[in-house]
Amino acid sequence: MFARECDPVVDIFDLRHKERVFSDRAHAGEMLAGLLDAWSGTNAIVLAVPTGGVPVASSVALLLGLELDVVPVAKIAPEFDIQVGYGALAFDGTLELNEAARVALGISDQDRDEAIVRAQERVRLEVEALRGNRPFPDLVHRPVILVDDGIASGFTIDVALRALHNRGARSILVATPTSHTEALRRVGPHAEGLYVANLRSGAQFRVADAYQRWTEVTLQEAGCLLEETRRGRHES
């Protein structure tokens, strides 16, 4: 396999449009770290979108010797399918909604409002469990590598990008194991670079289809992995 740059996207050409290419999130992070080798040992910081992005980002951070932290963002999605997002909410209150997508999904105004409340509660829990009282890292003078386990619509990453810019980040790279090509059109204008191991297209796209083993990551699992990664970095 080899990496091929399609400005501004860097991907692995041999993995394009394929499914089940990663055994799990940790393996996906290892593949992604290979695309990000130029940042090994630098002052860049890896920021994971909880919770699924944490195992991916952990592999990236450990392999590149970088600091790991999280940027809590919750998808706004219908209860009948949480993978189908039509918006997202970040820890700082940054909110984005696609009203056209909401209407197409048949989501009422009341259901939308209830989904936003669920997202607010999810973000609160993520902040409490994964950040606690720790101060948010200074992002002004260091590159940020923003990691999630996949990009379907682009809402979650786009809101995360906006929130990080609000925090003073000047250089943000988006890195993810798998993404729909159309989603990158939403994300691209707000990122300095896009790193995607497995680019896919088509009408039916699910992040989970890139993985052989796919399970939900609990807040407890994410928290333990963050602590293990930090200890591993300090001990290496």
For residue 84, tell me if it sits in a domain. no
Residue 94 lies in a domain: no
Map tokens 């700082």 to a residue.
92
pLDDT in tens, 160-213: 999 999 999 999 999 999 999 999 988 988 899 999 999 999 988 999 999 999
* Structural domain contains residue 125: no
Residue range of the domain that includes 159: 3-73+138-235
Q: How confident is the model at residue 5 (pLDDT cuts 50, 70, 90)?
A: very low
Task: Mention every residue, 6+ apart, whose C-beta is less than 8 A from residue 4.
Answer: 10, 11, 12, 13
In a domain, 116, yes or no: no
Q: Rounded to 5 degrees, what angle do the CA atoms 18, 22, 23 make?
A: 135
Q: Does residue 154 have a pLDDT over 80?
A: yes
Q: Which residues, 6+ apart, have CB-to-CB distance to 182 below 8 Å? A: 154, 201
> Domain for residue 122, yes or no?
no
CATH assignment at residue 9: 3.40.50.2020
Residue 178, amino acid: T
What pLDDT digit, counting tens, does each position of 62-112 carry? 999 999 999 999 988 877 766 667 889 999 999 999 888 888 888 889 989
Type of residue numbered 193: G
What pLDDT is recorded for position 82? 66
Q: Is 159 inside a domain boundary?
A: yes
Residue 137 has pLDDT above 50, yes or no: yes
Split into its structural domains, the chain has a count of 1
Whether residue 104 is contained in a domain is answered as no
Q: Domain for residue 50, yes or no?
A: yes
Mean per-residue pLDDT of the chain:
91
**Local confidence band at 235 (pLDDT 50, 70, 90 cut-offs):** low
